[in-house]
Structures are given as C-alpha cells and as structure tokens.
Structure 1
Amino acid sequence: MCLDGYTPIPPTHVAAVVTYLEMREPPPPRPRDTEPLPLAAIGTDIARYRALYAAIGTSWLWFGRARMSDDALLAILGDPEVEALALTEDGRDIGLLELDRRQPGEVELGYFGLVPEAVGRGRGRRLMDEALRRAFARPIRRFWVHTCTFDHPGAVDFYRRSGFRPYARAIEVTPDPRLAGDMPRDAAGQIPLLGE
C-alpha cells in the first residue's frame, strides 16, 4: 500500500484528515473565573441537542450526529456515562460540551464548540477549563479528542494550548452528508459540493 501521492475520492464523498489528541494528566490549573459558567444539562432533550449541534456544526460539516436516528442519539444522550451540556447566554444556547466516559479509564471530548457569533470572546477557553475540570474530577488514564480539517482552522492549536498532544492521524472518507440529505446543501460552503 502506497501512502504517498493523491487518492481519488468519488464526487459523492468527502475526505478529511483527522488528528487525534490526548492528555494523560491535567494541565496546571488556570485561575478560575469568579462568575459561574452558565451551563445547562441537555440530557435527553434531542430537539435542543440537535438545534445546538446544527448551529455550531453546520459551518464545519459536523455530520456524525446529524446522520443518527433519534433512537440512536437518545441511546447516547441517555447513557449515564455521557454528559451533554449547553453553554447559555441571555437565555439561548451558544456552546456545546459533550463528555463521554463509556470507555473505562478514559474520557472522550465527544463534541466541543461555540456558535459562530460566540467565537473569539474567551468563552471557548472557559468552556475548555470546565471540560478539563470535569474530565479529571475522577481518576482516568487519558482525556482525548479528535478533530479534522473540516473543523475550525484554529482547533488543533486550541487543543494543544489546552494541554492536549497529537498522537495519530487518519483519513476519513464518507458520503457527503449534503447529498444524502443529512445536512443542508449550503452547509460548509468552503467544502465544494461535487456530486450534484
């Protein structure tokens, strides 16, 4: 198998480079903001979860949860080892923090993001500080996350500044969710839609 050069992708599919990052111990604590972070448990409120997921992820072609049936998503959100939280501001959801503890000794940062208008105002840093606090609240071997080239261009650097270290890469090839009807056709305009 040759890993050099170009690999054709069908026009009905998209491909991204995925970077996996982890930390084995918490970074030094940062000074905590005295004002509590306004977080609300989403629980099994699928409509709320889907709305927030779409508000954050449509620009970045987040398709994993968009493709799931309500029953499959409910099985995840209803699991006591999964915690989905909404960051709120003025009565509306502006951020998502999803922690998955279903693998013993590990916590996966399943989803993490802010709606576009909330980016760049320090909320992401505060939300990550809360993610770190919650992930390491009990002993674990590692806290990990994956991101890809479809995500915000600053995602890998943000995770590295937060204490994560990259450890692996992969190529993800999948049917274009816009063609499958799982996402709006105008989602993630920076990723060309070819298979029309």
Structure 2
Amino acid sequence: MRVTTTTLEMLAPPTQEARAFPEEVRLDRAVAVSPEYARFLYGLVGGPWHWTDRLEWSRQQWADELGVPGAEFWILYGEGVPLGYVHLHPKPAHQGTDIEIRYFGLTEQAIGRGLGGRLLEHGIQAAWSLSERFELPPVTRVWVHTCTLDGPAALANYQARGLVIVGAEDEDQDVDVQPLGSWVSTGGPVGAGQHSADQH
C-alpha cells in the first residue's frame, strides 16, 4: 500500500486558549504510566488505524520510552474509561527543546463527539508548557507525524489547530487490508469479537 507520511510543526504557542471539555469528560495528566498501560492505550486507540509498530515491543522498550525525562501522557476519561490520549515526547534541540506529539487519538466510542479538536488543543498547550513541569530548556518547537493510515480527520485536525505542513514522504508498505482492531491490539485473541472492532 502507498502510504504518505506528513510532518507538521508549530514554532510558537497558539494565541487562543484550548476549549473546555463537556462536563461528562475530564482530562488527566498521568504521572505514573506503566509500560502495560501505555501499551494498552496504544492498542485501544490505534487498533482501528493500523498502529502496529509497537505491538511487538518488549516491556523494557516501553519502559525506556516512558523513562525519557519530560515524557508525558494526558488521558481523556468519560463514563469511567479512557476516551483518548496524548503522548508528548521531548528531545533536545539546538536552542531549546523539541516536543513531538508522539501519539494522539480517540477511542472508537469517543469519535464523533467533538472531543478530538479539544484534546489536541490541550495537548498542544501541554507541549508548550512542558518545560514548566520538567527541568528542560524552553520549548521552541512542537511537531507531529501523521500518515494516511491514521484516522481520516487527523491531518485536517492538526492543521486546524495551527500546525503547518513542512514535509511529506511517500513509501510502499506492507499493510494488512483490515486493521487489527482494538480487541486484538490490546492483547485479545484473534477470533470472537474481532470483527465488530474491524468494521467502520
């Protein structure tokens, strides 16, 4: 399958405040994310969208990723369960700190409720303020990769929040016709229950 990966960036904080969430949901800064929970969120949100790169990661690989100083998760909750998350990943830059929006997305049950734009706005705001919570040089750039295997609204959502396209790359990838779905991606056996998760 031909896959286009697009890089977007923001070089200054947004001038508008992030919009508030509806009363029935809340956004929590997660300060003690375990490798198990990080992998679960990755599979839950990414299962419908061909997120597979990290499903074979070892626990130590997850722990190393989470142990990077300044790595941060913001998790959206509603009805007592996760509805989406943002994973921020800092990296030293020439004159400050680059923050990658490493992963961002909603669970299937949260899509279509007007939450995606708000979650991204809060994620961007958190990225720009990351050096206030960690001993990092000031943030000078926030950036993200998205590709045509992500949700169909992803690219437009990033652009609507002020991220600007700075590059795009096409490559052929071996991709299953159907995504694994959240059931299999979170560790469920292939078989009963998979098909309902795969249909969109």
TM bracket (short chain): 0.7 to 0.9
Residues of 1 paired with 2:52 and 2:77: CA distance? 23
TM-score (normalizing by structure 1): 0.76
Which of residues 90, 95, 98 is equivalent to 1:101?
Answer: 90
Post-superposition shift, 1:51? Answer: 1.7
CA RMSD of aligned residues (A): 2.9
Alignment-derived partner of residue 52 in structure 2: 63
Alignment-derived partner of residue 38 in structure 2: 49
Post-superposition shift, 1:25? Answer: 0.8
**Conservation of the 8 A alpha-carbon contact between 1:95 and 1:112:** yes
| Higher helix residue share | 2
**Conservation of the 8 A alpha-carbon contact between 2:30 and 2:75:** yes
Paired residue total: 175
Residues of 2 paired with 1:177 and 1:74: CA distance? 28
Letter in 2 for 1:124: G
Structure 2 unaligned regions, length at least 5: 132-137
Letter in 1 for 2:156: D
Structure-2 change in CA distance of 1:82 and 1:173 (3 Å): farther
Which of residues 8, 15, 20 is equivalent to 1:33?
Answer: 20
**Conservation of the 8 A alpha-carbon contact between 2:98 and 2:142:** yes
Residues of 2 paired with 1:50 and 1:102: CA distance? 21
Aligned ranges for residues 135-174 of structure 1 at < 5 Å? 135-137=127-129, 138=131, 139-174=138-173
Which of residues 119, 124, 130 is equivalent to 2:116?
Answer: 124
Between 133-142 and 102-111, the greater mean CA deviation after superposition: 133-142
Residues of 2 paired with 1:55 and 1:45: CA distance? 15
**Conservation of the 8 A alpha-carbon contact between 2:18 and 2:118:** no
Structure 1 unaligned regions, length at least 5: 1-13, 191-196
Residues of 1 paired with 2:159 and 2:69: CA distance? 29
Post-superposition shift, 1:40? Answer: 4.4
Alignment-derived partner of residue 134 in structure 2: none
